[in-house]
Amino acid sequence: MPSITLVPQANGHWQHGAIVGAASAWQAVATSDDDTSYLRFTTSASVPTPRASFHFHGCSNLRPTSVTFKARHRETTAEAQAGCGFTRHVPGSEDPDMFEDILTSSVASMSTYSTTNHPYTVHPFTGAAWRAGDLNGMEALFVVSKHPLSAHPVVLRLTYLEVVIVYDEPTFYEAR
């Protein structure tokens, strides 16, 4: 089956990371350049789970069989946990800030960058098989949190995020 790899092309709804070495959040994570450009996330009392979301273009009419997030990150303090997933505006809500999230989490690596993969073989919000158009309106989401027993803030750097979409080729004609 064919696949397409996409990097962020615009900022999404959530933007809690401090931008280092780039003009915008999406540009900071569109190239895997480790410490040259990245988003720095810090947990705090006012933002206990900082997050950033991004728009990806070029996939609106695809019928995915799987969608995999690949995030390259490292923690700069102990006990950070990272999550990748989807966010979308709550269907039917008039509130532009009413978003719902689906996450898969992992523990970040200390001092060295590591790449984590988070595959979704079914639609994350419905649990049903992916359909053409399901990626419309969804944003890729990256979230940082600290271990529940940690007493201090955590800091994590995200230097790269991509989405790999494996999809069915469209069938225009059926054999008779």
> DSSP secondary structure string, 93-151?
---TT-EEEEEEEEEPPBSS-EEEEEEESS-TTT-SPP-TTTTTT-EEEEEEEE-TT--
- Total of domains in the chain: 1
**What residue numbers bound the domain in which 137 lies?**
3-163
Residue 175 pLDDT class (50, 70, 90 cuts): low
Residue 25 is assigned to a structural domain of this protein: yes
pLDDT number for residue 99 = 66
Residue 136 is assigned to a structural domain of this protein: yes
Residue 172 is assigned to a structural domain of this protein: no
State the Cα torsion 128-133-139-145 to the nearest 10°.
Answer: 10
* Under 8 Å between Cβ of 103 and 83: yes
Residue 174 is assigned to a structural domain of this protein: no
Which CATH number do you get for residue 23?
A: 2.60.120
User: Over the stretch 118-136, which tens digit does the pLDDT of each residue have?
Assistant: 889 998 888 899 998 888 8
Residue 173 pLDDT class (50, 70, 90 cuts): very low
Residue 170 is assigned to a structural domain of this protein: no
Residue 171 is assigned to a structural domain of this protein: no
Residue 149 is assigned to a structural domain of this protein: yes
